[in-house]
Amino acid sequence: MRRALLLMMVLLVALMSAQNLAAQRKGSGVLSGVVLGPDDKPVSHASVTYQSSAGIAPHAVRTDSQGHFTITKLRSDNYDLRASGKGVFSEWEKNVTVRSGQTKSVTLRLIYAKEIPKAYTKSKAKE
């Protein structure tokens, strides 16, 4: 019984090591960028939704106080991205190619809304 358990544990560790090695060989890529509002200023704390171009596993991250975002540990694949903030949305940025060991940079511009939110009209009036 102990031998069987020990053998199973050794096989499990070997399998996990092989998967880890395969993942390291594949590597991962990084997707970074900035979200700009209708006034072309960076949008802090905007939401950036991303998924593989096949529509698998949607995720979201937030921009920092300067409107920048970074998505790490992405498999080599094509991704679709869209940003939203303060009631305004960007177009979908489709088929953004991420390669292992590389950083791809994109700019997402918030342009769609039923009406421009007050958050943007106030800043224009002050200028």
Domain ranges (residues) in the chain: 28-126
pLDDT per residue as tens digits for the range 38-52: 889 999 999 999 999
List phi, psi (to 5°) of 118.
Answer: -60, -30
Quick one: tokens of 16? 């996990």
pLDDT per residue as tens digits for the range 51-99: 998 888 789 999 999 999 999 999 999 999 999 998 899 999 999 999 9
Select the more confidently predicted residue: 48 or 116. Answer: 48
Mean pLDDT of the chain: 82
Three-state DSSP at 18 gives helix
The 10 Å CB-count burial string (b at 16+, else e) for 68-94 is ebebeebeebebbbbbbbbebbbeebe
Q: Yes or no: is domain 28-126 CATH 3.90.1150.10?
A: no
- Entry pTM: 0.69
- DSSP class of residue 92 equals P
Maximum CA pair distance of the chain?
78
